[in-house]
Structure 1
Amino acid sequence: MHHLSNLSLLHSRPDRIALARERFFEGGQAPTGVVSEAVFESWARCLRLHGNPNERATFQPVTASRTQLALMKNRPLRQAWLDEVPRLEAMLSTSNCTAMLTDATGVLIGSTCVGRSHEELMPVATRLGVNLSEDAVGTTAPGVVARTGKPVCVQGGEHFFDSVKEMHCAAAPIRDIRGQLAGVLDLSSERIPFAFDAAAVAGLYAGAIENRLLVAQSTEHLVVRFQVAHDLLDSAMVGLIGIDVGGRIAWENGVARSLLGGRAHPAAQAERWLEPSFGLPWEQLVALPAAGAAPLALPNGLQVWARAEMRAPDGRRGLVVGASLPAVAPEPPVVPEPTAEPMEEPVADPRAAKRLRESDLDLIRTTLQACGGNVSDAAKQLGVSRGLIYRRLRG
């Protein structure tokens, strides 16, 4: 494929993009140095998929059943979005931008107010259920992020279809506690180019929504918040990490990865444990305050402020703050056979209750370790409810 030349003589970026489009779509010349690699690769995919960029893009909803399924499957994500919308709307109130939330496939599941006098595409594109994927509407910021999982900015003529070139959009991914793409936050403006770094703003608010989602999805995790300044603990810049009862790091957000040493995304990580990352055992982390902050020295030499809360399956918080757990027994005791179903208190099997009382917290810790930190599995093996285990851990 030939590369473009002499584009530097054109002073206007829209003019350079227009010439790059013409030479790429008609002559096969790669738009190197004019558009980002992400946009170029999307053009190539859309050219194979859609063929003619001069055709009109149609912003159509998916079926009603698929829309309802997307809304149901993404309830935690939508709630995190709704909790953040007031701040988003306040920030965008003096701009010409609209915020949109899609699921991981590009289906719209939320948007802020639209309907400004100069907007024609936005009222159509922001309906619930509209498919914003590359397969449906070609190169757009939310479509590219849904495809690649990476943040991107697509402005004006960088959109695949000519009919969408009045749009300017910047989008960022939102991930869940498994490190998988959960959704996409997009900021879009029709006809009026961005007068600020829209990619940075989209990334900031995507991070805020992601933080809310991570905490909401955390059950049976100790959630630790930390930052170099204590007044950042309630901001989108907070480092967040989830630790299971067995002492393993279950998830962490991007800020936490940076503060702990800039490791790759946890989805690509092997099993990781608490003490090498924080230099502290569970007993000391769980004793961090649930409100306010306490100083914490990380093994990498960084001094941070931190607080912690224990999340329970019923959504309650602060269940074990201030507790002190004993060390794991050197020799694991005999564990009772699993019961057919986890039982609620009072415990149906008096022998299991007797063993639990006799061996106290050592049996709980040992069983949790054998179950990989899974409280539900440990409760089944011990023949007790998860609530009892939480209360015993609480001391």
Structure 2
Amino acid sequence: MSPAHPTAPMPVISHMGERHALVSQARLQLQEPAASHALLPAGVAPWLWRSWQRCLLQDRHPAERVEFEAVGPHALNRAQEQQHALLQAARPVMAQLVGAVGAMHYFCLLTDAAGTVLEVQGPVDQRDMRALAIGRVGVDLSELCVGTSAIGAVLAEHAPVWLHRHEHFFDDLRDYSCAGAPIFGPQGQCLGMLDITGIDVPERPELLHLALRCSRAIEDRLLRTLPHALLLHVNWPGGPLGQEGEGLMAFDNDGCLLGSNSVARQLVPRPAQPPGMNQPTHSQELLALPWAHLVEHARRRPDALMQLPLWSGLRLQALVQPGPQLHPPLPTGVAATPVAMSSAHPSLLRTSEHLLIQQALQEAQGNVSQAAKRLGLSRATLYRRLGNKRNGSAR
């Protein structure tokens, strides 16, 4: 049955089509004299508008010709030597990535933190000057040189981005589409970025997720190469462990943190240090658990899940696995010496110890013997540390 008041069908505009229209409208504002001070236009991502404005502040114009310049051979050799570990970690991941996107005519780039291309993998069309312009080792793809691109935006924002055709600042880049994600080192510093680029290709924003996954895989490979004594796999209860998406933390034999991946830095934030101070962070500043317990668990039950309490009161699940640098266990009958938190302030040590004891007592429901066993202490030692002289009054 037809409706009583028929109306003409409304035109359907896809989400992507509407966004492209808004981007095109916003690009017209770039021609206006006050564009560098204009408010964020509708439909334009804040990071994209910031990149456009940075280009305008450099007195650049979208119609300018882009020169894809390469750094000199000495500068390239120096950059590759400085990022040797990054290159070694990235190459196998990039090879797998090309297997996923190569059939769609996308190729992959790895840059350092300055935007210099260190590695290229995938189907770079040798007959297409647009592909050859960027798909070569040594070319400078920083925002300063080529304006808004996934490379420059990722390195400026330290966040993953997807960029399609006219979202680039310069008209010369309108044929490119690219997804990119930053790569952070074990200390949290940005080492560079991973880019997936196509020319005259349909929009594939789902590649952003793939770029981010691969950049995280590179971070994990970098962390595992550290000469560590213990590798801690952490996640929220129910989250994956021993596979993609987990947090990783590497420690030396003294319990000092050597590095962590991006997931672990979110799950277990490092304590803030005073400006100019760069002291190592001990495990007991991060985890409400004695270092000796982690070492013992790694030696005896490396494949068994354990609960990992944080000082905030939150709990994670963890796998604790011995690394290649872990000291061999002491001979039978030799008492282990507690690991000293030499880098921590004495007041932090006292606070940490008190909190550990109180937590163990709470978990043992006040049973001193059970709490002492949990802490790896004798009952008498626990009493001394509690300052409780009424030994006979407790269980």
How many aligned residue pairs are there?
Answer: 321
Deviation at 1:231, TM superposition (A): 9.9
- The answer to whether the aligner puts 1:158 opposite 2:167 as a matched pair is yes
1:326 equivalent in structure 2? 336
- Residue 18 and residue 303 in structure 1: after superposition, are their counterparts in 2 closer, same or farther (change >3 A)? closer
Structure-to-structure mapping, 1:31-50, within 5 angstroms: 31-50=40-59
Change in Cα spacing, 1:232 to 1:95, as seen in structure 2 (3 Å) is: farther
Shift of the 250–279 alpha-carbon distance from structure 1 to 2, 3 Å rule, reads same
Q: Tell which deviates more after alignment, 15-24 or 156-165.
A: 15-24
Q: For residues 323 and 266 of structure 1, what CA distance do their matches in structure 2 show?
A: 34
Of 342, 364, 372 in structure 2, the residue corresponding to residue 369 of structure 1 is: 342
Please give the alpha-carbon distance, in whole angstroms, between the structure 1 residues aligned to 2:240 and 2:295.
20
| Match for residue 21 of structure 1 among 19, 27, 39 | 27
- Give the structure 2 partner of residue 240 of structure 1: 248
Structure 2 counterpart of 1:297, from 289, 307, 311: 307
Confirm or deny that 1:108 pairs with 2:117: yes
- In 2: Cα distance, 1:302 partner to 1:9 partner: 41
Which residue identity lines up with residue 53 of structure 2 in the other structure? A
Q: Deviations over 1:185-222 (max 9, x none)?
A: 11122121333422221111101101111222x23553
Q: Which residue, out of 300, 320, 331, partners 1:307? A: 320
What are the Cα deviations for residues 260-283 of structure 1, in whole angstroms up to 9, with x where unaligned? 4x6799999996432353333222
In 2, distance between residues paired with 1:196 and 1:266?
39
Offset, 1:229: 8.3
Deviation at 1:303, TM superposition (A): 5.3
What is the rounded CA distance, in whole Å, between the counterparts of 1:155 and 1:265 in structure 2?
38
Distance 2:263 2:180 in 1: 19
SS of structure 2 residue aligned to 1:306: strand
* Contact 2:68-2:139 at 8 Å conserved across structures: yes
Question: SS at 1:286's partner residue?
Answer: helix
SS at match of 1:225: strand
Match of 2:260 among 236, 246, 252: 252
SS of structure 2 residue aligned to 1:25:
coil
Give me the whole-angstrom Cα distance separating, in 2, the residues matched to 1:81 and 1:307.
25
Q: How far off is 1:230 after superposition?
A: 9.7
Q: Secondary structure at the match of 1:369?
A: coil
Q: Which amino acid aligns with 1:25?
A: Q
Classify the secondary structure of the residue corresponding to 1:76: helix
Counterpart selection for 1:72 from 72, 76, 81:
81
1:87 is matched with: 96
Structure 2 stretches lacking a partner, 5+ long: 1-13, 346-395
Q: Does structure 2 conserve the Cα–Cα contact (< 8 Å) formed by 1:77 and 1:213?
A: yes
Which residue of structure 2 aligns with residue 355 of structure 1?
Answer: none
**Would the alpha carbon gap of residues 62 and 110 (structure 1) be closer, same or farther in structure 2, given more than 3 Å must change?**
same
Q: Which runs of 5+ in 1 are unaligned?
A: 1-7, 311-316, 329-364, 373-395
Matches within 5 A, 1:253-272: 253-260=261-268, 272=281
Matched, 1:225 2:233: yes
Change (3 A) 1:137 1:89: same
Aligned AA for 1:199? Answer: L
CA deviations over 1:73-131 (Å, ceiling 9, x no partner) = 11000000113223212222333322211001100001212234995422220100010
- Of 170-179 and 225-234, the range deviating more from structure 2: 225-234
1:168–1:190 contact (8 Å) kept in structure 2: yes
- Would you say the 8 A contact 2:107–2:124 is kept in 1? no
How far has the Cα of 1:43 moved from its partner? 0.8
**CA deviation after TM superposition for structure 1 residue 9, in Å:** 12
CA–CA separation in structure 2 for the residues paired with 1:26 and 1:327: 71
Deviation string 1:44-101 (CA, Å, 9 cap, x unpaired) is 1111225221012122211111111111111000000113223212222333322211
1:98 and 1:112 in contact (8 A); partners too: yes
1:14 counterpart letter in structure 2: H
Question: Residues 354-365 of structure 1 correspond to what in structure 2 (within 5 A)?
Answer: none
Correspondence 1:62 to 2:32? no
The Cα shift of 1:227 comes to 4.0
Question: What TM-score results when the alignment is normalised by the length of structure 2?
Answer: 0.70
Give distance in 1, aligned partners of 2:22 and 2:152. Answer: 23
Aligned-partner Cα distance in 1 for 2:131–2:109: 10
Say if 2:162 and 2:205, in contact at 8 Å, map to a contact too: no
| Higher mean displacement: 89-98 or 124-133 | 89-98
User: How far apart in 1 are the matches of 2:329 and 2:273?
Assistant: 28
Structure 1: distance between partners of 2:273 and 2:101: 32
CA contact (8 A) 2:234 2:319 kept: yes
CA change 1:71–1:304 in 2 (3 A) is same
CA–CA distance in 1 between the matches of 2:104 and 2:208?
15
Judge conservation of contact 2:228–2:258 (CA < 8 Å) in 1: no
**Matched letter for residue 55 of structure 1:** E
- Percent sequence identity is 26
* Superposed CA RMSD: 3.6
